[in-house]
Each structure stands twice: as structure tokens, then as C-alpha cells.
Amino acid sequence: MAREIFDLSFSNGFARTLHERALGDIERDYPWQSLDPSRYPPLLVARARVGWTENAFNEFCTAAAMGQMLQALVQARAPLDLLGMASRFAIDEVLHVELCARMAMRLGGGAPIHYDPEDIVFDLDPSLGPLERANELVVRLCCVGEALSFPLLSGAMRSASHPLSRSILETIVRDEAHHGRFGFLYLDWIRAELGPAERDRLGKAARRTLDAYRPLWEHGESHVVSGVTSEGFLLEHVRELGWMEASAYSELARVTIEESVRAPLARAGIVF
């Protein structure tokens, strides 16, 4: 497999000027200088660098998947209003990449991540037709991935007690709300055309996608005593750097799976 190091750059030409006009002045609009990494234990800062770099990489992969989904929607001749919504999602993800990467840089620099470029989009059965590809991508990416991430990111946003981490998460949460909603708007459009076999196939795809996310919250329970985590970090520091307390995050994930993923999909006849 071709392995590459996750690395980001700007062209520093007129394209960057247009990029900044479209997305706003990120340097000015976020309080980057308000975060002083020297206030926190070096080990916690190192973990935060890894965490925010991983966030940037995940958003980078989602940008690619959003492009893949848009292509499938166009090929399936989805309604123009749905195409219009979906066409905006990739640029949202590019903004998220930049924000998370800049946060990692503020903490001392991005952590090394090696990846295979062929793995950053969904691997679909080549025998599927255009509409089947669109159905699967929307369910996996929006009805599971984005519908799951919105409540979890909202929880992290509410927990974030530093103006920089909170402002970054507020931006991401604002966009993710539209991404998750899109999936169920699409299902409203296509529902009458989904036969039992297709609903069953999409249910299995949803389960596989959800199972891939489980390692994010299925880990050892944390303990907080007098504001100190079981690893010896001040809980306030953890929250300032953009995390929820681990046990609260795990519980929120369990509730979110049932209320924001399984239940809405079940209403569309997709059960898993």
C-alpha cells in the first residue's frame, strides 16, 4: 500500500485569497493567542496535539467522502435542492480541517499520521447502481457518521471551557447539524422506492459503519476525584483543551446511538 504522511499546506497564491474570502479571516475570527500551552502539563499537551491532529485528519477524510457522495447523488439524479445542500458540505469539512490543524499547531505542532490515500473514501460494491450507491453513502456518511458526531461534538462544545476550543467546536457543531439532517431529508425523498432487500442492505451497512466508530468511546471508564482525573490531570485543563470527561462521553455516545441513529433510521424502515 502507498503510505503518505498527513500534511497540509496552502498555495499562497490568489487561490488562498479567494479561500479566505469564502471562509472568512480565520486568523482574526478565532482567539488563537488566548491559548497558552505552557499552562498545561506537557503530557496533556502532547495528547491534545495528537487528538486535534486526528480531528483534522478525520475531517480531511470526511471532505473526500462528501465529494464521493455528491458524485453519487448527481449520478442518481437526486433533486436539485438536495444536491444544493450536499454540494456545500465538502467546503464545511475543509474549514473544519483548517481549524483543527491550527489548534494542533497552537499546541506545538501536528502529530505524525500515516495513511493510504485509497482508504479515505468508502469502498463500495462495484455492482451497485447509481441510486444504490447514493443510498448507501448517505446512510453511512450522514445518517450514521454525521448524525452520531453532532451530539457528541455538541457535548464537547458545552464542556469546552476555553474560548478558543469552544469557538472552534461551535463552528463545527453548526455545520454538522446540517450534515446529519441531510441524511434523513434524503430518506424522506427516496423512502417509497426502498424495497425490503434494499432496506436490509442499508441496515447492514449502517451496522458496519457504527461498529467502526465504537473504539472512539468503548474504552476504560475514567474516574474524577476532587476535579482530578485518574491520570492526574485537572479536569478543568482537560475541558479547556476541548475534551469531555471520558465516562460522560461514553454515556452520551450510547444515548446518541439509540436516539439519533437507530430510531430515525427505524422510522425510515432501516432496522439494525
3-state SS, one letter per residue, for 110-155: CCCCEECHHHCCCCCCCCCCHHHHHHHHHHHHHHHHHHHHHHHHHH
pLDDT bracket for residue 221 (50, 70, 90): low
Mean pLDDT of 98-104: 98
Lowest mean pLDDT among 25-29, 88-92, 159-163, 214-218: 214-218
Provide the residue type at 72 as one letter: A
pLDDT confidence of residue 231: 82
pLDDT bracket for residue 1 (50, 70, 90): low
pLDDT tens figures, 182-200: 999 999 999 999 999 999 9
How far, in Å, CA of 96 to CA of 8, rounded?
A: 13
Residue 228 φ then ψ, to 5°: -120, 130
pLDDT confidence of residue 199: 98
pLDDT bracket for residue 219 (50, 70, 90): low
Count CB-CB contacts under 10 A for residue 188.
12
How far, in Å, CA of 40 to CA of 159, rounded?
A: 17
Nearest to 145 by CA among 88, 90, 212: 212
Average pLDDT, the chain: 94
pLDDT tens figures, 37-78: 999 999 999 999 999 999 999 999 999 999 999 999 999 999
pLDDT confidence of residue 181: 95
Answer whether 238's CB lies under 8 Å from 229's CB.
yes
pLDDT bracket for residue 220 (50, 70, 90): low
Q: What pTM does this model have?
A: 0.93
Question: What cell was used for 90?
Answer: 465538502
Sequence-separated (6 or more) residues with CB below 8 Å from residue 165: 35, 103, 240, 241, 242
First to last CA, the chain: 33
pLDDT confidence of residue 194: 96
Question: What cell was used for 102?
Answer: 491550527
Provide the residue type at 220 as one letter: G
Burial of 251: CB neighbours in 10 Å, binned 0-12, 13-18, 19+: middle
Residues in the chain: 272
Using a CB cutoff of 8 Å and minimum separation of 24, what contacts does 167-176 make? 167/30, 167/31, 168/30, 168/99, 168/100, 168/103, 168/242, 169/242, 171/95, 171/96, 171/99, 172/59, 172/96, 172/99, 175/89, 175/92, 175/95, 175/96, 176/146, 176/149, 176/150
Answer whether 151's CB lies under 8 Å from 256's CB.
yes
Sequence-separated (6 or more) residues with CB below 8 Å from residue 116: 1, 2, 3, 4
pLDDT tens figures, 11-41: 989 998 998 888 888 999 999 999 999 999 9
Q: Tell me what percent of the residues of the chain surpass a pLDDT of 70.
A: 97
Mean pLDDT of 245-260: 92
**DSSP tag of 221:** P
pLDDT confidence of residue 230: 76
Question: Residue 223 pLDDT more than 80?
Answer: no
pLDDT tens figures, 108-146: 999 999 999 999 999 999 999 999 999 999 999 999 999
Sequence-separated (6 or more) residues with CB below 8 Å from residue 125: none
Distance of CA 64 to the CA centre of its chain: 12
Question: Residue 163 pLDDT more than 70?
Answer: yes
